[in-house]
Amino acid sequence: MKRATIRTTHDDPDAVARALRPDNTDEMETTVAEDGQRVVTRIERSTTGGLHATVDDYVVNLEVATTVADAARSGDEQPARPADTGTVSDDEPEHDNE
């Protein structure tokens, strides 16, 4: 079994860990270290290639989780998005865009 442990320090490690956990696979475990300052993720895979791929995916997820946690902590607003884009249905009439 191939293993990696990734430790990262954050201003709000609880928020980062909560954001990461939904993306964890069965071979991963994300916790907050006893010092309360670090996120610790342990990854275990049967092959080196699988471990490498999982670590790469985790690093991308970590960047997103950190950005989201930092924005939430600073009170930044999310970008404006439409709340409703209208009905999407196969039964809607077609419109000619000429």
Residue 41: partners with Cβ closer than 8 Å, 6 or more residues away: 5, 6, 20, 24, 28, 29, 30, 31, 58
Residue-number span of the structural domain to which 26 is assigned: 2-74
Q: Classify residue 10: in a domain, yes or no.
A: yes
Per-residue pLDDT averaged across 62-86, rounded? 71
- Assess if residue 38 is contained within a domain: yes
- Residue 83 within a domain: no
Average pLDDT over residues 61-78: 81
93 lies in some domain:
no
- Note whether residue 80 is domain-resident: no
- What value does the CA radius of gyration of the chain take, rounded to a whole number of Å? 20
How far apart CA 31 and CA 10 sit, in angstroms, is 13
* Nearest-angstrom CA–CA distance, 30 and 5: 10
Mean pLDDT on 44-69: 95
How far apart are alpha carbons 43 and 41 in whole angstroms? 6
Residue 36 is part of a domain; what is its CATH number?
3.30.310
Would residue 82 count as lying in a domain? Answer: no
Residue 36 has pLDDT above 70, yes or no: yes
The reported pLDDT for the residue numbered 74 is 76
Per-residue pLDDT band at 44 (split at 50, 70, 90):
very high
In the chain, % of residues over pLDDT 70: 76
Q: How many domains does the chain have?
A: 1
